[in-house]
Amino acid sequence: MQAKLSAKILDGTKIAAEIRAEVTAQVKDLAAKGIRTGLAVVLVGHNPASEVYVRGKVKSSHEVGLHSEQHSPSESATTEQLLALISDLNRRDEIDGILVQLPLPPHVDAKKVLLAVDPSKDVDGFHPMNVGYLSTQRPGLVPCTPAGVMEILRRSGIQVSGQEAVVIGRSDIVGKPVAMLLLNQNATVTICHSKTRDLPEVCRRADILVAAIGRAGMVTRDYVKPGSTVIDVGINRVTDRREFDRLFSGNDAAYKKREETFLAKGSTLVGDVHPEVAEVAGAITPVPGGIGPLTIAMLMANTVKAAKLRRGIE
């Protein structure tokens, strides 16, 4: 019987810590020049998941020395009220980054609010102007998760230039920008989606496979070329025991620990990539502890980048 192979685990937590340390040094350097770097987070209403995300972002801001503000309009805030808040933040020179936490309440015109953010302060990289800068390789702000994907590849010594990359998912937040970043680094890029014919066959061509579809464990070993690098962007909460058993098996300590946590909490986190892929891939990002920590680290890095771009600092 052939021994199971085991992919190199790309440690996002460790790389995120490296990036945060670099950001801390840059914040101190700007402070020495008399520049206080500031991030404003807008959280409308009381969405529990959003509140957790925002707390994490504010905490990380303090840890790297950024000035951060949280603005919390009520659930009933109108589009006009939010536009007035954004306009005020745009005017304030000490605010370098503005982040509007999604989702916004249904009665709010989310597109209008996001478009109102000054592109030079758009640390999420969602504004059409920053999308245009990315596609034409001009300096601008890049969405945090795709930027994190590129950092984990670069800092793990994984070659991108000349490689065949396949991205599963075409969202404006992850799929499209990560494909553009890979293309800008001279990869040959294929974007797949729900209408792609014979998805596993297309994915098996990939030297670098990025899964960003939001479906727990959809990418199985049949999708993966042996020895390839697999980047799992998905974060899915599994609550059904049958689904847990489909995804996880074994008798080792790691399995037992995960099962204990699942039984105690009633849920576990899993990516878009089935855990069995680690037996085929050459390198893989775990969930949790892969791309997730890098998203917040890149938000911190984007805020410092915005501060420098706005002031013409190299």
CATH number of domain containing 99: 3.40.50.10860
- Domains in the chain, number: 2
Give strand pairing partners of 98: 40, 122
> Same domain for 163 and 37?
no
**Mean pLDDT along residues 305-313:** 95
- Please report whether residue 174 resides in a domain: yes
Confidence of residue 1 (pLDDT cuts 50, 70, 90): very low
**What is the SS3 assignment for 98?**
strand
- Please report whether residue 21 resides in a domain: no
> Same domain for 102 and 69?
yes
> Same domain for 280 and 174?
yes
Q: Could you report the per-residue pLDDT of 57-103, keeping only the tens digit for each?
A: 999 999 999 999 999 999 999 999 999 999 999 999 999 999 999 99
- CA 119-313-24 angle, to 5 degrees, is 90
Q: Which domain holds residue 116?
A: 33-127
- Please report whether residue 284 resides in a domain: yes
> Same domain for 116 and 191?
no
- CA 154-310-79 angle, to 5 degrees, is 100
Pick from 90, 59, 26: which is nearest to 100 by CA?
90
> Same domain for 98 and 186?
no
Does pLDDT of 5 surpass 80?
no
> Same domain for 117 and 182?
no
> Same domain for 190 and 93?
no
Cα 274 to Cα 263: distance, rounded to the nearest angstrom: 20
> Same domain for 281 and 216?
yes
Q: Which residues contact 276 (CB under 8 A, 6 or more apart)?
A: 220, 221
Catalytic center residues: 57, 101, 124
> Same domain for 213 and 178?
yes
Does pLDDT of 132 surpass 70?
yes
> Same domain for 163 and 51?
no
> Same domain for 117 and 148?
no
273: DSSP letter? B
- The alpha carbon of residue 214 and the mean position of all alpha carbons in its chain are separated, in whole angstroms, by 13
Confidence of residue 218 (pLDDT cuts 50, 70, 90): very high
Q: Please tell me the number of Cα atoms within 13 Å of 74 on its side-chain side.
A: 2
